[in-house]
Structures are given as C-alpha cells and as structure tokens.
Amino acid sequence: MNDAPRITCARVTLRRLAMTDAAAIAAYRADPNVARYQSWETYSLAQAEELCRSQAAEVFGRPGSWFQLAIVRAGDDTLIGDCGLHFAADDPQQIEIGVTLSPSQQGRGLASEAVARILDLSFLTLNLHRVTARTDADNTKAAALFERLGFRREGLFRSCAMFKGVWCDELSFAMLEQEWRSNPSAGSAVINA
C-alpha cells in the first residue's frame, strides 16, 4: 500500500491530513491538557501547517517514517484528532502508534473506535505481526485506552525518556496478530486502500 488508506468507522473516519486541517490541529495541540504528555510545550499554526505540508508528501508505510492520519467526524469531515503510525526502519512487520483527540471529543470512546480500526488495518491489510504503543506512565487516559482495546502491558521503563527537562517513566503496550484475532471486535472497519 503506497497511499494512505481511508478507514470508515461508525462515528469517525481516518484519512490523510489536508492543509485545511492545520488550524484545528494547532488549536487542540496547543491545549495544555493535550500537550502534557507530548514532546511539545506549545504548538503554533505554522507548526501545524508544516506538519500537514510534510504529511501531504509522505509515502504511507515508508520505513522509519511517522505517518499521521487525521481523525475526522464521520458526518461532516471536521478534524477532531490524529493518529500516528511509526513504521519501524528495520522491520516491515511492526509499527508503533500514538493517538490524540481534541479535549472536546474525549470521553466518548472515539479514540478507542479509531485505534480499533487501526488494528484492523494493521492485521488485515498490512499483514503486520505486532503493534506497539508507549505512553508516559502518568498518562492514565492513554494507558486505559490501550488496555480497553486488549493491548498487553509489556513493561515499565523507569526514568527512560527526558521530556520537558524531566526524566519520565514510560509504559510499553503491545498487540500481536494472534492476540488480535482472538478479539471478537476485530475486523469491522471498512478500509479503502
């Protein structure tokens, strides 16, 4: 698959980022509650425009790349979040994912819906072996999301990452293809590759 998939879920759609998404991305990424466990402190419109510009030229699945899919409301294509897929540089069968939702859209199961469908894409279309996620150990919402979806908590890495001048603990989560296949909600996305 060379182009970004368009994934249709019940309440959200995942698609390639467009330049018209930049203002919405800048708005939620600049929110301190969203930035708290991310690499940035502040997030400008110029940064969001650069992200959209670079992603417009990115090849989906390029080894070593992060590909950011937009999460939009299914009815009207309004951007409500983004989901990053990191394609390992040295292993075509593994990715790491990360997800962000606008605060106004959290607490409704929309991130769970989006990530569940990323798992469908990973194991049904991309034929991956393993999907992983890492979160700050204090990021309880993110940890709850991955556990809700059946990811295995693989380990706690103590003081392993420097974020905003402080050494942080990180949790590692993983889902293997055979673990995903035993999950009854697997495979219900409509994926247009």
Ligand X SMILES: CC(C)(COP(=O)(O)OP(=O)(O)OC[C@H]1O[C@@H](n2cnc3c(N)ncnc32)[C@H](O)[C@@H]1OP(=O)(O)O)[C@@H](O)C(=O)NCCC(=O)NCCS
CB of 100 to ligand X, least distance (A): 4
CB of 98 to ligand X, least distance (A): 4
Q: Which of 84, 187 has the CB closer to ligand X?
A: 84
CB of 35 to ligand X, least distance (A): 8
Q: Which of 178, 184 has the CB closer to ligand X?
A: 184
CB of 82 to ligand X, least distance (A): 9
Q: Which of 35, 191 has the CB closer to ligand X?
A: 35
Q: Which of 122, 135 has the CB closer to ligand X?
A: 135
Q: Which of 52, 170 has the CB closer to ligand X?
A: 170
CB of 139 to ligand X, least distance (A): 5
Q: What's the token pair of residue 22?
A: 């930049």
Kindly give the interhelix angle for 140-148 and 110-120, rounded to the nearest 10 degrees. 50
Q: What's the token pair of residue 141?
A: 């919402």
> What are the Cα distances from residue 164, in Å, to 62, 68, 122?
29, 23, 32
Residue 104 to residue 101: CA distance in whole angstroms: 8
Q: Minimal CB distance to ligand X: which residue? A: 109
Closest by CA position to 11, among listed 82, 91, 71, 83: 71
CB of 141 to ligand X, least distance (A): 3
Residue 66 to residue 17: CA distance in whole angstroms: 13
Question: What are the residues binding ligand X (CB under 6 A)?
Answer: 34, 37-38, 98-101, 106-112, 133, 135, 139, 141-142, 145, 148
Q: Which of 7, 34 has the CB closer to ligand X?
A: 34
Could you write out the DSSP letters of every residue in 98-129? Answer: EEEE-GGGTTSSHHHHHHHHHHHIIIIIS--S
Residues 6+ away with beta carbon under 8 Å from 71: 12, 13, 14, 79, 80, 81, 82, 83, 99, 101, 110, 111, 114
